[in-house]
Amino acid sequence: MDFLDYAFMQRALLAAVLVGVTAPAIGIYLVQRRQALMGDGIGHVAMTGVGLGFLLSASPVWMATLTSVLGAILMELIRWYGRTRGDIALAMLFYGGMAGGVMFINLAPGGSNANLTSYLFGSLSTVSQSDVTAICLLAGFVVLVTLGLRRQLFAVSQDEEFARVTGLPVRALNLLTAVTAAVTVTVAMRVVGLLLVSALMVVPVAAAQQLSRSFAATFAIAVAIGVSVTLGGTITSYYQDVPPGATIVLLTIAAFVLLTALAAPLARRRARAAAGGLPAGDPVECAIPASREAGGKVGV
């Protein structure tokens, strides 16, 4: 446990835990709405913010938050209004965001794509005290929304049409989901990087689904997986000198594979238990009715 003596590792572990909680917490609603790759799109848009941060000598974390929130709102608006050309508009937004990031960072004095790399793939060991403050504030917002409004977000993500008839402010909740996803992307940016963020939003949820039958259990298991892999990945990268972002994502996928392998016998056992609940001699339906047989004998 000697890594706990280093201030940079303390900051890295704190940031890792916060990402482990927040990414699956908002990711579960995106998966429920079948928008699993939205996080990836927001990550692309956030690059413009990082570039702008360097160009304007502002905090890249806060600039990325600003642009990704604007980008997420724009995506939600495109989903409402753009029916036929929606996907083309989204493609322009994503790649425009990425190109903007590369352009701005190269325009910044002394800036180059090398600066961008730490945001694209994460750079846990360089997380500063002010980064940690920003990450804590943003993560607090994400937890507040995803837990505090869980029933409303569940209803809207499950069945938007029905949610409208229960009087829920569907559009506002959709926007809030998009904004929260954008905030989560910037929380995770320093830990796993913008290009790998989406994996932490989606894969823990997919892994949790292998075991769970309820939304609540899926949420809890996904967050538990998220925290385990971000902590595990961070500590592994300390001892093995491997990139933390990639380690975390590979560990998440390993967790998915492991749980899928474990879930198959579990599902079989559940099915057997359910079948055990039926009365004995179940195949009655398929047997020849006794009365007809008896009638036949009489005829002979």
Partner 1 sequence: MTEPVISLRGVSAELAARPVLRGIDLTVARGEVVALLGANGSGKSTAVRTIIGQVPVSAGEIELFGTPRRRFRDWARVGYVPQRTTAAGGVPATVTEVVSSGRLSRARFGVLRRADHAAVRRALELVGMADRAKDSVNALSGGQHQRVLIARALAAEPELLIMDEPMAGVDLASQEVLARTLREQVAAGSTVLLVLHELGPLEPLIDRAVVLRDGCVTHDGPPPPALGQHALPGHDHVHPHGPIRTGLLS
**73-92: which residues touch partner 1 (CB under 8 A)?**
83
What is the SS3 string spanning 100-155? HHHHHHHHCCCCCHHHHHHHHHCCHHHCCHHHHHHHHHHHHHHHHHHHHCHHHHHH
Least distance (Å) from partner 1 to the CB of residue 35?
A: 9
Instruction: Say whether residue 252 binds partner 1 (CB under 8 A).
Output: no
Single out the residue of 7, 22, 241, 243 nearest to residue 127, CA to CA: 7
Within 152-211, the residues that bind partner 1 by CB under 8 A are 152, 154-155, 157-159, 161-168, 205, 209
Nearer to partner 1, 59 or 212 (CB): 212
Q: Pick one of 8, 14, 17, 33: the residue that binds partner 1 (CB under 8 A).
A: 33
Q: Is 204 exposed, middle or buried (0-12, 13-18, 19+ CB in 10 A)?
A: buried
Contact 142, 180 (CB under 8 A): yes
| Chain CA centroid to CA 273, Å | 33
Which of 10, 106, 125, 212 is in the footprint of partner 1 by CB under 8 A?
212
Stretch that binds partner 1, among 30-38, 91-99, 190-198, 241-249 (CB under 8 A): 30-38
* From 8, 62, 121, 215, residue interacting with partner 1 (rule: CB under 8 A): 215
**Of residues 4, 114, 129, 213, which one binds partner 1 by CB under 8 A?**
213
d(CA 76, CA 93): 12
Report the C-alpha gap between 231 and 13 in whole angstroms.
6
For residue 18, the minimal CB distance to partner 1 (Å) is 22
Minimum distance, C-beta of residue 255 to partner 1, in the bound complex (Å): 17
Interface with partner 1 (CB under 8 A): 28, 31-34, 36, 83, 149-152, 154-155, 157-159, 161-168, 205, 209, 212-216, 218
